[in-house]
Amino acid sequence: MPRTCSICKLKTRNAIDKALVEPGATIRGVARQFRVSDDALTRHVKAGHIVQKIAKAQQAQDIAEADDLLKEIIEIQQHQKTIFNEARERTIEGYKVPDNRLALEALRDQSKIVELKGKVLGSFVKDAAKTAPAGAAIVAPLTPEAARKIGDIVAGNL
């Protein structure tokens, strides 16, 4: 019958793990500091319990950073949409006079933002290459408004 790790059961486990990864830390020193046996601490380390914890913490940090980045990208995307809409709806002396050049620049920037957003979101997908057939692309459907705007650009109606 397999035994469970005595160090993992302790209330001070987090403090022990932190002490073990400090520069210059030794098993003997940490064992003495927390009044646990050298052997139990050695088994804890050799079983990979610290490595697992560090990996989980790193993964959580990576996700949090990617989430912050995604929020920033979405905010920039909202500003770009505002610029695009204002350029399309520009009026001079009561007449609608769209700024096609600015609208097109905003749309080009939008495509870059969408690409960047896809890269960030793709960082959450594990083994995508293994699960998707060769040459397959993951494409999100366009909203009707986006399709209409792209159609306007292609047709030269800007």
Q: Say yes or no: 41 and 83 in one domain.
A: no
Q: Say yes or no: 42 and 65 in one domain.
A: no
Task: Tell me which of 6-10, 35-39, 93-97, 151-155 is least confident.
Answer: 151-155
Number of structural domains (the chain) is: 2
Within a domain: 56: no
Q: What is the pTM of this model?
A: 0.46
Query: To the nearest whole percent, how much of the chain has pLDDT over 90?
Result: 11
Q: Say yes or no: 98 and 138 in one domain.
A: yes
Within a domain: 92: yes
Q: Which domain holds residue 133?
A: 61-155
d(CA 52, CA 22): 16
Dihedral sign for Cα 127, 132, 134, 136, please: negative
Q: Say yes or no: 79 and 139 in one domain.
A: yes
Please tell me the predicted confidence (pLDDT) of residue 44: 86
d(CA 151, CA 129): 32
* 148 pLDDT tier (thresholds 50, 70, 90): low
Q: What is the pLDDT of residues 59-80, one digit of tens each?
A: 777 777 777 887 888 888 888 8
* 12 pLDDT tier (thresholds 50, 70, 90): very high
Please tell me the predicted confidence (pLDDT) of residue 35: 94
